Amino acid sequence: MKFWKYHGLGNDFIVIDNLDGSISLDNKTVIAMCHRRFGIGADGVLLVEKSSIADAKMTIINSDGSIAEMCGNGVRCFAKYVYDHNIARNSQIAVETGAGVLDINVRTEGGKAVAATVNMGKPDFAADKFSSYKDGAEIINMPITVEEKTFYITSLLMGVPHTVIFTENIDDDFIMHYGRLIERHPIFPRGTNVNFVKIVSRDSIMIRTWERGAGYTYACGTGACACVVAGITQGLLDDKVKAQLRGGDLLITWKDRQDVYMEGPAAEICEGFYSNCIK
C-alpha cells in the first residue's frame, strides 16, 4: 500500500490516497502502521477521500485506532498533500472533516505548499456535547480533583474536545502522568484532549498536550486554538498569540469572539510502500 508521511511541528501522520474508495483500514492495521518500532510510526493516519461538498475529505484515525473529528496539524498536512498532488491546485482549499468544512489558505514556495492558515471555526463551550454536564452548563476555570491534586480546568469543543489547564509546571513527567488521568476523568465519558499551558506574556504561551487517542504529542493545532480561546475568555491573553509547542510555533488569532484562525507549517517527510509484517 502506497503511503506518504507528513508532519506539522512534529505531529506526524501517515497519509493514504483513498480517492477511489478501495482502502478500508481496521483498528489492528492502523495500530500496526503507527507503531514506532515495528511500523511506519505516526500519531495517526489521514485518509484522502472524495467529497461532494469540498475539494477533498479528510478522515483521521488516531494511533490507537479511534476516529477523530478534526486535527489542526493534520489538516495543514492534508492541505499540503491535496495541493502538491494537484487534487486542488488553489491558494484556498476547502476540506471536509468530521467537524465540518474548513477553509484553508495555502502558502507556497517553489510550487509546493509549505504552510497554511486555517479557519478553525467558532469554539463551543456547551459542556453537554463533550461531558456529563447538562442543561447549558459550561466548564470554565472549574476545579476537579485527580489523585488528591486540584486542577482548575476550562473545557470546550474546538472541533474535538479540549481541556485547558493554566500552570507553571509543564515538565514531561507531570504532563504524562496527569494527562492520561484527566483524559479519562469520569466527567468526560468519551475522553478529552488535555492541554497544560504556561503563560509567557499576553501574546505568548507554552503548551504541552496529552492527546486523546495518541498520548503525549509534539504539537496539537486544535489544542493551541483551545488554549488561546480559554486564555482570552478568562482575560489572560490578547487576541493574537504565539503558541510555543514542543515541535515549534503556531500563530493563533481570535478576534471579536468570532472564528479562530491557526497559522503554521506542514512538511513531507517521505513516501513508500507499507508491508504488514507484524505478527
Same domain, residue pair 86 and 163: no
Q: Contact, 122 vs 108, CB < 8 A?
A: no
Same domain, residue pair 134 and 67: no
Q: Contact, 115 vs 263, CB < 8 A?
A: yes
- The H or E element that residue 72 is part of is helix 72-84
Active site (catalytic) residues = 71, 220
Q: What is the CATH number of the domain that holds 238?
A: 3.10.310.10
Same domain, residue pair 86 and 181: no
Same domain, residue pair 49 and 109: yes
Dist CA 156 CA 99 (whole Å): 14
Dist CA 181 CA 138 (whole Å): 21
Question: Considering its fold, how many domains does the chain have in total?
Answer: 2
Same domain, residue pair 157 and 94: no
Specify the pLDDT at position 277: 53
Q: How many residues does the structure list for the chain?
A: 279
C-alpha distances out from residue 114 to 68, 126, 131, 262, Å: 24, 35, 37, 14
Q: Return the SS3 of 80.
A: helix
* Residue 279 within any structural domain of the chain: no
**Which residues, including other chains, have CB under 8 Å from residue 51's CB and lie 6 or more apart?**
57, 95, 96
Same domain, residue pair 19 and 116: yes
Domain membership of residue 70 as a residue range? 2-120+265-273
Q: Where are the alpha helices (DSSP H) in 143-250?
A: 172-183, 221-233
Query: In b/e form, how buried is each residue of 221-243, taking b as 16+ CB within 10 angstroms?
Result: bbbbbbbbbbbbbeeebeeebbb
Picking from 89, 79, 80, 78, the residue whose alpha carbon sits closest to that of residue 13 is: 78
Q: Return the SS3 of 186.
A: coil
Q: Please tell me what DSSP assigns to residue 244.
A: E
- The 3 state secondary structure assigned to 6-23 is EEECCEEEEEEECCCCCC
* Residue 30 within any structural domain of the chain: yes
Specify the pLDDT at position 276: 73
Dist CA 114 CA 40 (whole Å): 23
Each residue's pLDDT expressed in tens, for the chain with a length of 279 residues: 999 999 999 999 999 999 999 999 999 999 999 999 999 999 999 999 999 999 999 999 999 999 999 999 999 999 999 999 999 999 999 999 999 999 999 999 999 999 999 999 999 999 999 999 988 899 999 999 999 999 999 999 999 999 999 999 999 999 999 999 999 999 999 999 999 999 999 999 999 999 999 999 999 999 999 999 999 999 999 999 999 999 999 999 999 999 999 999 999 999 999 987 544
